[in-house]
Structure 1
Amino acid sequence: MTAQETVERAAGALKVFPLPSAVLFPHTVIPLHIFEPRYRALVKDALATDRVLALGQLEPGWEGNYEGRPPLQSLMCAGVIVWDEQVEDGRYNILLQGVSRVRMVKELSPDTLYRQVRAQVLADPPYTGPEEEQLRQAVFELAGRVPPSFAESLLPVAARAGGGMLADVVASALVPEPGRRQELLGELDVRRRLEQVLVDVSDLLSQLQPVRPSGPMN
């Protein structure tokens, strides 16, 4: 069974980890340290079943009710735990591989410590257009202005990815602000998503000086 099929099977009762400081994109991996009791229970149950959970955002104004069940934003990213380690006090370190955007249809009745939703899985349609190559070229240009270690991790992915995957992996690597990441996660039109990520990369390029060649100039 593919990861996509696993997420689709889990969508009827999808476990949700609301984490306001982090936004996961499909095709990317995020490390998480799980320490709250309700989310330790979530991870324990996920590991015992399908290893699927969704990383979600809370609606603005959640701060006063974080310990409760403040409203969830409807667009999330569902993923599969690809590595796990249980540490002291029942806490976990995990790596969560993003698989697909999902839209919450309904939050389920609270019969667990953690939250679960019924969700619609939102797969990207195939897309090929000029925006794809424009973004790829912008990433190649950016690679000449950032440390080699960072460029070497981004360039192979940018070279082989296309369509929505290209937008997602570039956004994951280069867009740090959670609110902006959530906006890009919520953009379901692949062409517009590519355009929006290109705006972010172009803004970053405008802030970085071109690398000047070293050595004597003739």
Structure 2
Amino acid sequence: MTAQERVERAASALKVFPLPSAVLFPHTVIPLHIFEPRYRDLVRDALATDRVLALGQLEPGWEGKYEGRPGLQPMLCAGVIVWDEQVEDGRYNILLQGVSRVRLVEELSADKLYRQVRAHVLPDLSYTGPEEEQLRQAVFELAGRVPPSFAENLLPVAARAGGGMLADVVASAVVPEPERRQELLVELDVRRRLEMVLEDLGDLLTQLQPMRPSGPLN
């Protein structure tokens, strides 16, 4: 079964981990340390079944309600746990690989400590346009202004990715603010998403100077 098929099967009762500090994109991986009891239960149950869970953002004003069930923003990213490690006190370290955007349809009754929703899976539509090559060229320019270790991870993916995948992978690498990342997650128009990421990358490039060669000049 593919990761996409796992997410589609899980969508009728999708486990949700609300994490205001992080936004996951499809085609990318995020490390998570799970320590709250309700989310330890979530990960344990996911590992025992389909390994699927969604990362989500909370509606503004959640701070005083976090221990309860504050409102979830409707767009989430569902992913598959691709690596896990249980550590002391029942905590987990996991790697969650984003698979697909999903839209919350309704929250299910609270028969678990953690939250579950019924969701609609939203695969990207195919798109090919000039924005792809513009963003790819901007990534190549970025590679000349950042440490090689950063560029080595991003360049191979940017070189072979296209459409929505290209936008998501680059956004994951260069956009740090959760609010902006959520805006990009919400954007279903692939062309517009590519344009938005290109704008963000352009802003970053204006702040960075080309790196000087580390060896002697001939």
| TM-score category (smaller protein) | over 0.9
1-side partners of 2:12 and 2:217: how far apart? Answer: 65
Partner of 1:133: 133
What is the deviation of 1:216? 4.8
Counting matched residue pairs gives: 217
1:1-218 to 2 correspondence within 5 Å? 1-213=1-213, 215-216=216-217
What is the deviation of 1:211? 3.0
What is the deviation of 1:197? 0.2
1-side partners of 2:217 and 2:144: how far apart? Answer: 20
Q: What value does the CA root-mean-square deviation take over the aligned residues?
A: 1.0
% identical equivalent positions? 86
Per-residue CA deviation, residues 100-129 of structure 1 (Å, 9 max, x unaligned), is 000000000111000000000000011100
What is the deviation of 1:162? 0.4
Unaligned runs of 5+ in 2: none
Describe the SS at the equivalent of 1:54: strand
1-side partners of 2:7 and 2:217: how far apart? Answer: 57
Describe the SS at the equivalent of 1:94: strand
Give the counterpart letter for 2:134 in structure 1: Q
Describe the SS at the equivalent of 2:25: coil
1-side partners of 2:180 and 2:22: how far apart? Answer: 11
* TM-score of the pair, normalised by structure 2: 0.98
Point out the more displaced range, 80-89 or 206-215.
206-215
Per-residue CA deviation, residues 153-208 of structure 1 (Å, 9 max, x unaligned), is 11000000000000000000110110110000010000000000000100000001
* TM-score of the pair, normalised by structure 1: 0.98
2-side partners of 1:211 and 1:105: how far apart? Answer: 48
Question: Aligned in 2, Cα 1:146/1:12: closer, same or farther, shift over 3 Å?
Answer: same
